[in-house]
Structure 1
Amino acid sequence: MGSQHSTLDDILAEDMHHWYNKFMRESPSGLITLFELKGILDLKGINEDANSYVEQVFFTFDMDGDGYIDFVEYIAAVSLLLKGEINQKLKWYFKLFDQDGNGKIDKDELETIFTAIQDITRNRSKEPDQIVALIFEKIDVKGEGEMTLEEFIDGAKEHPDIMDMLKNLMDLTPVLEIIVAGRPMAVKD
């Protein structure tokens, strides 16, 4: 795992010209569509939850909401995920989890995202409903069955085990390596 992070650190240290060339090789138009992102990641035949997750990631990276990821959004997303401060990452996670955009995340939204992540990564170390139950048990102090951004950030920071779990579950390093390297993702059995 250490070699992946040093490789990504090396990638981030490269000059912008090199980053731009890699981006333009993948998308000569200078814009990546959702369809192109799925092609880059070789995500054919994924289930509905996994497809929904990829779409949610795309729209979270599409900061101006124009339906494309441009070079600036691409670099911002990569930098956030690899080098971002904890508050920035937690805000990004929250935006990703809040599928209906109502400013709160509930158990169903979290379970859908975690199921989708596991379908894509094939990492099933813990069942999504167990993960969600643990997060809500520790963070949803009011017992409302939903959390605001402030509750989510405060609760996650208060519980190092939850932070570690979120970091591991939400680690998009392999996806970013695929995008940067410009090669399709190998399917794991």
Structure 2
Amino acid sequence: MGNAAGTNVEELQACESHQWYRKFMTECPSGLLTYYEFKQFFGLKNLSESSDAYVQTMFATFDMNDDGYIDFMEYVAALSLVLKAGVQQKLKWYFKLYDIDGSGCIDRDELLLIIKSIRAINGMTNELSSEDFANMVFDKIDIDGDGELSYEEFMEGVQNDENLLKMLTESLDLTHILHKIQGELLNTENS
């Protein structure tokens, strides 16, 4: 019995991988996704300057070998990280995403820019303004009060604050993109 369940999970994962590959190669026949194709792939149009900057940062974090393209393996690794990874891995990725200038610390302006951009892309509104949210994050986890969040402060602070962890995780929830892609896959299979 245990083997049958394992086989079903393996078959499901193989089927999902095949669907992801078909979608990727349909949208990107060259096998290399450019920034422009990346935006098209996820339906990101008419972005503000700050939102476009955020998407460029996200693209750069997915382009793991820094060649200016996302190949299929980088694509799968990125989606697995965003959609299936554990809290530690996601927080490590969030930190890299928020640290726009690559300084090893997140300052208030970087966090504010990312929060505004995420909200614009996701169409999110919240009772807490982007500025208030950034201030709340710094008030809670900038332990030494230097106006920057080190990797350690970020990891420890977010993990020790359940509400903050939930808010950050929800703000970067990309399952709507997964559902969009899966919906498109079903439509192409049924036509």
Give TM-score, length-normalised by structure 1: 0.85
Q: Deviations over 1:128-175 (max 9, x none)?
A: 111111111111011111011111001100110110010111112223
The 1:13/1:163 distance shift into structure 2, 3 A limit, reads farther
The 3-state SS of whatever aligns with 2:106 is: strand
Give the Cα–Cα distance (whole angstroms) in 2 for the partners of residues 137 and 86 of structure 1: 22
What are the residue-to-residue correspondences of 1:24-173 with 2, within 5 Å?
24-125=25-126, 126-173=128-175
1:12–1:56 CA distance, 2 compared to 1 (3 A) = farther
Among all aligned residue pairs of Structure 1 and Structure 2, give the percentage whose two residues are the same amino acid.
Answer: 45
Higher-helix-fraction structure: 2
Change (3 A) 1:89 1:117: same
Q: Aligned-pair distance for 1:31?
A: 1.0
State the one-letter code of the partner of 1:147. Answer: L
Distance 2:57 2:184 in 1: 21
Residue identity matched to 1:141:
I
- Mean Cα displacement is larger for which, 105-114 or 21-30? 21-30
Q: Distance in 1 between matches of 2:68 and 2:111?
A: 24
Q: 1:85-142: per-residue Cα shift (whole Å, max 9, x none)?
A: 1111001000000000000001000000010111111111121111111111111011
Describe the SS at the equivalent of 1:65: coil
Offset of residue 42 of structure 1: 3.0
Q: CA-atom RMSD, angstroms?
A: 1.9
For 1:179 and 1:57, how far apart are their aligned partners in 2?
18
Q: CA, structure 1 residues 41+167, in 2 after alignment: closer, same or farther (shift >3 Å)?
A: same
User: How big is the shift at 1:37?
Assistant: 1.1
Greater RCO, 1 or 2 (C-alpha within 8 Å, sep 6+): 1
Q: Any gaps of 5 or more consecutive residues in structure 1?
A: 1-10, 184-189
**In the TM superposition, what is the alpha-carbon distance from 1:12 to its structure 2 partner?**
5.6
Q: Tell me the distance in 2 between the aligned counterparts of 1:179 and 1:96.
A: 23
3-state SS in 1 of match to 2:43: coil
Contact 1:22 1:180 in 2 (8 A): no
Inter-CA distance 52–88: structure 2 relative to 1 (3 Å threshold):
same
Measure, in 2, the Cα distance between the counterparts of 1:176 and 1:17: 15
Tell me, yes or no, if the aligned pair for 1:40 and 1:182 is still in contact at 8 Å: no
